[in-house]
Structure formats: structure tokens, C-alpha cells
Structure 1
Amino acid sequence: MKQISFLHAADLHLDSPMVGLKHLPANILSRVRESTFTALRRLTAAAIENNVDFVILAGDLYDGEDRSIRAQSRFRNEMQKLSQKDIPVYVIHGNHDHLSGSWVHLDMPSNVHFFGSDVEMKVFHTKRGDTVHLYGFSYIQRHILDRRIDHYQKQDSADFHIGILHGNEGGGTDHDNYAPFSIKDLLEKEFDYWALGHIHKRAILSETPPIIYPGNLQGRNRKETGVKGCYHITLNDLEVKKEFIETSDVVWEEVTVDAASAQSFQEIFQLCQLTIERLRKAGLGTLLTLNLKNVHINDFQEKKILDTELLELLIDYENDEEAFVWVVNLNLEDHQQLNRKKLTNEADFYTELFATIDDYQNPETAIAPLYQHQLGRKYLTSLTEEEQKELLGKAEKLLIGLLYQ
């Protein structure tokens, strides 16, 4: 029976700067910044352990077009491990690590095969004698907005045809609409497998043939929640086997705790502790956004330490934990006594304040200096409508809290 086995990964974003986390303790920050490399090592180990025929990396190996020497060196070391096991690697570059960037090149081992800027085919022969045709292209520049899918065509006869594509399906708004395609487009190509990249959330778009986004290897911010990894795929004439392999070393999570039943600081603290223990994962670090809703505390002193000391208590002993759960964001639902209706009844000033907030349409104007900064231009993306609303909401809560003091 003809059969192939391979790993499909995408969006490694090696050496991602993990911005906004400088407040973390040094040992946890170091582990977070090392996490993309840890995920790569776990990918390599999985390829060797499963004795796969080859590995597919579907774009965005590096986080930036400059491809740091450290990232290239780490990647080369892992590829050499695969080379020693005679495992080839097929790579396309995406919008983050496009071919027009400027970087100091490090040569890669001969088992690493890069696709050029035009859709091309590479031929692989397994040790069992099966023939695989792999099709793909690398981004020549950051913005590829045309339908490259139209250039994918089966060539000659092969036992398996695999398409590799870094792009956006269906015109979704969460990611830039690069190299757009539809599921129908991919099905019409009659390939045996589509290895996708670009979307950082794991998704199986089709079972027959498999059309898969594996997500990224390691979450890099609070929007990329949950355990990340890659797929081990086994294809033969009769079936497809899909095994998800976890690679992330640090996991982002967000939970909401209903504190309606809590009547004191101690009870709220215990609710938070129970939540943290429930989220603790053996061998993994967790960065947690914790939302507390329905907070009702009447005692002034307890209410004060809730605002100022709860977070400090929750992270007090996490620094020494290998399986740490570090609360990076603690959000308290608006105290009931600070709601808009009550405040507008207290003073006309609040009525004018809320009217100004409601009329404010473009928070990006206020943070324009960040985007004009050299690093800001490099790493920041435009805010979505949801992110703008969230930013305004946080600004309103902060302002009201300061004024009400």
C-alpha cells in the first residue's frame, strides 16, 4: 500500500519579541522569549520520534523580515538534526519573513528545500518508492493580495499531490486577506492534502481531502489562547490519520470568574486561587487574563485592597513554579456604585465626559506616536474594530476610577 507520513507546521515566528511583557520576572520573561525556540525543538523531536518521511513548514518561520542571526542559527541547528535522520524539510516564506527583507544569510543544510516566489513543484521520493509532488510559493513581498491559488496545477503523475499555501480563506477579518482562496478553489485542484499557514488558530476546513490550518507552534499574545502545535499526517490509499502534537511551552489563557457569590475579599481570593489551580498544566507555563465579574464588596478597606493587592497576592508564589500560572491582566468589572447612571446623577461633568467618550471614534489617533516609532512600525498592526472598543472601554474604566478616588 502506498503511504506517506509527514509533519505539517506553520507560523513558527521564531524569535518573536513578545512585546508588552517586560514587567514579568526575569526567569519567566526569559522562558517566554525562548518559547518559540522550545516549540521548534519539540517539532524536530516529534519528526524524529515518528520517523516521518518529511516536514512541511507553511510560512512565517521568522517573526520579521530581518530574520535575526539567532533565529536563523537556531533553525539551522534543528534542521541539521533532521538532516542526520535523512528527513527533508519543505519551506515556504510568508508575509512576515518574505523574500524582499534585508538580513544576513546563514546557509541551511541541504535537506531544507525552499520554494521561490512563483508557484513551483518539488518532487520527493520516499524510501518505499512512493512519489510525492509538493506545490507552493514564497511571498516576494509582505503584501500578496492576488489569487495565487490559480497558479496551482497538478503536474505529471505522482502517488500523492500536496499543496502548501500561506493565505487567508474566505476573506475573514481577523487576519490580513493575503493570497485569498476559498475551500471550493482548493477542492477543484484535486490534491491529496492542503498544508495551510497564516491563521494562528487550528482549523480543519475539509476532511476529504484534508485542508488544514495547524495554527502556530507557540502562542505569542493573549489573543492566541490554548495549547499550540502541529499535525502528524499519515496518508494512504484508504484513509487519513491526523494526530495533533503539542509544542507550546507557554500557554495563553483567558477566563471569566463570576464573583456574585463572594461577599468578602477572602472569598474572591479563594475563587481566583481555585481558577488558577484548575488552569495549571504540568510542565507548561500559563499567562492568564483573569476577568472578575459581579464583584460586590461593601467594606471600604476590603474594596481598596481588592484594587491594589489582589493581583500581587495571586502571583506571589508563581515565580518559582515550573508550571506557573502568571496573571498578566486582572480586570474587575465596573463596581456597581461606579456605573454611568449613578455618576451622571451625581454631576453634569460625568454626563459631558461620557458624551465625549461616546463621540470618540478613532483611538488610533491617540496612539499614533507608537505607530510612528521605529519599533512600533515594525511590530504593530492596525487595531480591529473590536480592539478599538476594548481600548476605549479600558480607558473609560481607568479614568472613572482615578476621578472617583
Structure 2
Amino acid sequence: MKKISFIHAADLHLDSPMIGLKHLPANIFSRVKESTFTALKKLTAEAIEQQVDFLILAGDLFDGEDRSLRAQSRFRTEMLKLAEADIPVYVVHGNHDHLNGSWVHLDMPANVHVFHSEVETKVLQTKSGEWVHLYGFSYATRHIFDRKIDDYIRVDGADFHIGILHGNESTGIDHNNYAPFSVKDLHAKDFDYWALGHIHKRAVLSENPPIIYPGNIQGRNKKETGSKGFYHITLSEIDAKLDFIESSDIVWEELVINAESASSFHDVLRLCQTAISQVRKIQTGTLLRLSLKNIQLADERETRSLHDDLMELLREDEKDEVSFVWIVELNITESFPIDKEQLKTEANFYAELFETIEQYDNVEHALAPLYEHSLGRRHLSQLSDAEEKELLEKAEKLLIELLYQPVDRGG
């Protein structure tokens, strides 16, 4: 029975700047900066250990169109390891590392095969004799909105046909609609596997044939939570085996703790410590966004200590841990019940305020100055509907808390 084995990874974003994390302790920041390269090393080590027939990298190997020399050099080192193991690598470049960028060029070893700007077919005969046709293209420029899927044409004469496509499944609304396609489009091509890239969240769009986004190999910001990695695929004439391999050295997590049962600072501290122990991952660093909800301590001094001292206590001893859990953001919400109907009876202003907020639909205009700034254009992604709603809810709560001061509890 004919069979092939390969690794499918995408969105390496090597040497990503990890925006907004320079406040971390030096050793943790250094590890975060190194994390994309650490993930790449895990990827190549797995390929060599499993002695796969080939490796697919489905776009955005580099974080920017300038492709830093550091990133190219580190990538080349790993590709040389694969060359020594006689493992070919098939690469498409995506919107971040498109072919029209400007960079100092480093030659890659002969085992690295890069697809050009038009869809083409590359032919491989594996060491065990199977013939494989791989189809793909690299982005010529940053913005490709054409239906490149129409140019993928199956060429007879192979045991296995694999499509490589860096693009957006057309029903997805959270990302730019680059090289759009539908699952139906891919099924119609009669390929044995589709190696997708561009979306950083892992997703299996179809099992027969497998159509897979592996996600990125290392989370880079608070939106990219959870473990990241790549797929080891075994394809035969009758089935497919899909094994997800974790590669991220640093994991982003988000944790919400309902602290309504806590009556003291110590109670809150213990709740946090218990929760942190549950998210800790062996040999992996964790960057944690922690939210404490429904805080209502009787002692004002203990409440102040939550804001002044809790973060420092929770970070204590984490700096030198290999399996650290470092809190990058702590949000504390005190229990402050808001009765909108009651507030409306106290002043007409509140009724007008709530009505304005409910009807507000110009979030994009309000945020425009951020996106028009050069740094904003480069690093900020568009907000989803859920994120816009959350932003409005936070703004409403903040306004009410600023306008309405509850009766002083004394002390």
C-alpha cells in the first residue's frame, strides 16, 4: 500500500517583535523573543526524528517583508539540518513575507523549494518510491485578493496530490480576505490533502480529504491563546492520520476568577495561587491575563492592597522558573451592582446616556486615529464584533463608575 509521511506547518513569523512586552524581566523577555526560533527547532527536530518524506511551510515564515538577517540565518541553519537528513522542504510565502519585499538575501540550501508567484506544480519522488505532486504559489505582493484557487489544476501521474494555499476561507470574517476560497472549492480539486496557512487558530475544515489550518507555531500576543504547533500527517491510499504536535515555548492564557466568595485579601491570594497552579505547563512559560470579578472586601485597606500588592506577590519567585506563569495583565472588578432602571429615575441624563450607548455604531470612526498612526497600521488588527461589543460595555461601566460615586463606607 502506498503511503507518505510529512509535516505541515504555517505562520512561523520568525523574529516577531512581540510588541508591548519590553516591561518583562530581562530573562523572560529574552525567552519570549527567542520563542519563534525555539518552536522552529522543535519543528525540525520532529521532522528528523520521524524521518518524514518532506516538510510543508504554508506561508508567513518571516514576520515582515524585510526578512531580518537574524531570522533568515536561523531559518537557514534549521534547513541545513533537514538537508543532512535528506528531507526536502516546500515553501510558499504569504502576505507578511511576500516576494516583493526588500531584504538582504541569504541563499537557502538545495532542499528548500520555493513556489513562485503563479500557481505551479512541483514533483517529488519519495525515498520509498511514491510520486507526489505539490501545488502552490507565493504572494507577489502583500495584498492578494484574487481567487488563486481557480488556478490549481490537478496534473495526472502522481500517487498523491497536495495543495498548499495561504489564504482565507471565504466564510471567515476575522481576517483579511486574501486569496479567498471555500471548502467546496477545495473538494472540487480532487486533491488528497490541503495544507493551509494564514489563520493563526488551528482548524480542521474537512477530514476527507483533510483540509487543515495548523495555526501558528508560537503565539505572539494575547489574542493567540493556548498551545500552538504543527501537524505530522501520514497519508495512505485508504486513510489519513493527523497528529498535532505542540511547539510553543511560551503560551498565552486568559483566566477569569469569580472571587465573590473571598472575604479577605488572603482569600483572594489563595484563589489566584490555586488557579495559577492549574494553568502552569511543565517546561513551558505562560504569559497570563488574569481577571478578578465580583470583589467585595469589607476592609478598605485590604481592597487597596489588591491593587497595590497582589500583582507583585503573584509574580514573586516566577522570574527564575523554567515553567513560569507571569501575569502580564491584572484586572480587578469590585462588586458594584448597577441598576440602570434606578439610575434613570434619579436623572434624565442617565436615560439619555444609556440610549446613546445602545444606539452607538461608530466604533470604527472612534478608533480611526489609532489605525491611522504608522505603528497602529502595522501592529493593530481589526476588532471583531464581539471585541467591539466588549469595548462598549467597558466604556459604559467606566462612565457610570466615574459619574456615580456610591456612599462612602467610612474608614
> If the length of structure 2 is used for normalisation, what is the TM-score?
0.91
Q: Deviations over 1:314-334 (max 9, x none)?
A: 112211111111111222235
Code of the residue aligned with 1:289 in structure 2: it is R
- Whether the 8 Å CA contact 2:296–2:334 is kept in 1: the answer is no
Per the alignment, residue 170 of structure 2 pairs with 170
Matches within 5 A, 1:1-400: 1-336=1-336, 361-395=361-395
Code of the residue aligned with 1:53 in structure 2: it is D
- Whether the 8 Å CA contact 1:171–1:177 is kept in 2: the answer is no
Q: Deviations over 1:173-227 (max 9, x none)?
A: 1211211111111111111111111111111111111111111100111111111
Q: Deviations over 1:335-380 (max 9, x none)?
A: 3257766777777777776666666544555554443443332222
Q: Give the distance between the partners of 1:326 and 1:397, measured in 2 at CA.
A: 28
Q: Give the distance between the partners of 1:204 and 1:34, measured in 2 at CA.
A: 29
Q: CA RMSD in A?
A: 2.3
Q: Give the distance between the partners of 1:125 and 1:237, measured in 2 at CA.
A: 16
Q: Deviations over 1:217-261 (max 9, x none)?
A: 001111111111001111112321111111000001112212122
Q: Give the distance between the partners of 1:378 and 1:103, measured in 2 at CA.
A: 18
* Count of residues in Structure 1 that have an aligned counterpart in Structure 2: 405
Q: Give the distance between the partners of 1:181 and 1:317, measured in 2 at CA.
A: 49
- Whether the 8 Å CA contact 1:73–1:106 is kept in 2: the answer is yes
Per the alignment, residue 409 of structure 2 pairs with none
- Whether the 8 Å CA contact 2:167–2:179 is kept in 1: the answer is yes
- Whether the 8 Å CA contact 1:206–1:212 is kept in 2: the answer is yes
How far off its partner does 1:278 sit? 0.6
Q: Give the distance between the partners of 1:63 and 1:215, measured in 2 at CA.
A: 15
How far off its partner does 1:306 sit? 1.6
SS in 2 for 1:241: strand
Structure 1 range deviating more: 143-152 or 389-398: 389-398
How far off its partner does 1:170 sit? 3.4
- 1:77 and 1:188, CA in 2 relative to 1: closer, same or farther beyond 3 A? same
> If the length of structure 1 is used for normalisation, what is the TM-score?
0.93
Q: Give the distance between the partners of 1:127 and 1:262, measured in 2 at CA.
A: 63
Q: Give the distance between the partners of 1:84 and 1:222, measured in 2 at CA.
A: 37
- Whether the 8 Å CA contact 2:293–2:335 is kept in 1: the answer is no
SS in 2 for 1:318: coil
**Percent identity between the two aligned chains:** 66
How far off its partner does 1:386 sit? 2.8
Q: Give the distance between the partners of 2:297 and 2:363, measured in 1 at CA.
A: 33
Structure 1 range deviating more: 233-242 or 215-224: 233-242
Q: Give the distance between the partners of 1:82 and 1:191, measured in 2 at CA.
A: 26
- Whether the 8 Å CA contact 1:334–1:397 is kept in 2: the answer is no
- Whether the 8 Å CA contact 2:284–2:322 is kept in 1: the answer is yes
How far off its partner does 1:15 sit? 1.0
- 1:337 and 1:238, CA in 2 relative to 1: closer, same or farther beyond 3 A? closer
Q: Give the distance between the partners of 1:344 and 1:63, measured in 2 at CA.
A: 50
- Whether the 8 Å CA contact 1:363–1:391 is kept in 2: the answer is no
Question: What 5-or-longer segments of structure 1 have no aligned partner?
Answer: none
Code of the residue aligned with 1:321 in structure 2: it is E
